[in-house]
A and B are shown apart, each in its own frame.
Chain A
């Protein structure tokens, strides 16, 4: 089954404690990206990757890092989380940047206290 898998689904952490949210896709897609969803704001792109070792900032990259060492994995790293990073995070993948067949993970609800 074609899917994008994120882990964990839920996470509560404290300010400043480094964390990683994993994302994996099994469709051999080149393009992957991370979004955050906040009430009244919709989804906003954090980072994206066009292919292995190629990553770039989206609209709201501050406080986040990513890496793309393998085609299937695209982890999101918060080196020093802060309460304003409390949000619902989605990983997405698609065959190319035109998003005509974009697949989203089930989301990770992160709370930073």
Chain B
């Protein structure tokens, strides 16, 4: 069945460091792909999305490109801030459900 695999955390970075969180998916067909962010004590918020191959989603300095050839959707940010500390979930749309990765905790220190 469809699945999403993302890198295990936690990821600990200093402010202004470069961030990459890897995400790969398996699916029949070409699902829409998403990154969600969950701040402490809150629900999930859509961070960015891509609906077809080679699309680049971007928001708040974060970017991810839908790579069909490598079935990947890696999240990147050039310079992280303390306020980016959160749990990040990669997800793919599979029929009537979103399939989530297990989440990656990012901790940014000043």
Contacts and interface: CB of A to CB of B under 8 A. Distances in A.
Interface of A: 4, 31, 33, 35, 40-45, 48, 50, 56, 58-59, 90, 92, 97-107
A105 B4 CA distance: 22
Contacts of B101: 42
Contacts, number: 58
Contacts of B96: 31, 33, 48, 50, 56, 58, 97
6 contacts: A31-B96, A43-B44, A58-B96, A90-B43, A106-B41, A107-B42
A101 B98 contact: no
B32 A42 contact: no
Nearest to A59: B97
A16 to B, nearest CB: 28
Contact of A45 (B4, B34, B51, B97): B97
B65 to A, nearest CB: 17
A35 B4 CA distance: 16
Interface of B: 4, 32, 34, 36, 41-46, 49, 51, 89, 93, 95-98, 100-103
A42 B46 CA distance: 15
Nearest to A40: B102
Contacts of B34: 99, 102
Given A42-B89, A43-B89, A102 B98 contact: yes
B45 A104 contact: yes
A58 B51 contact: no
B15 to A, nearest CB: 27
A43 B102 CA distance: 7
A68 B42 CA distance: 25
Given A43-B89, A99-B32, A100-B51, A33 B97 contact: yes
A31 B51 CA distance: 18
A48 B98 CA distance: 11
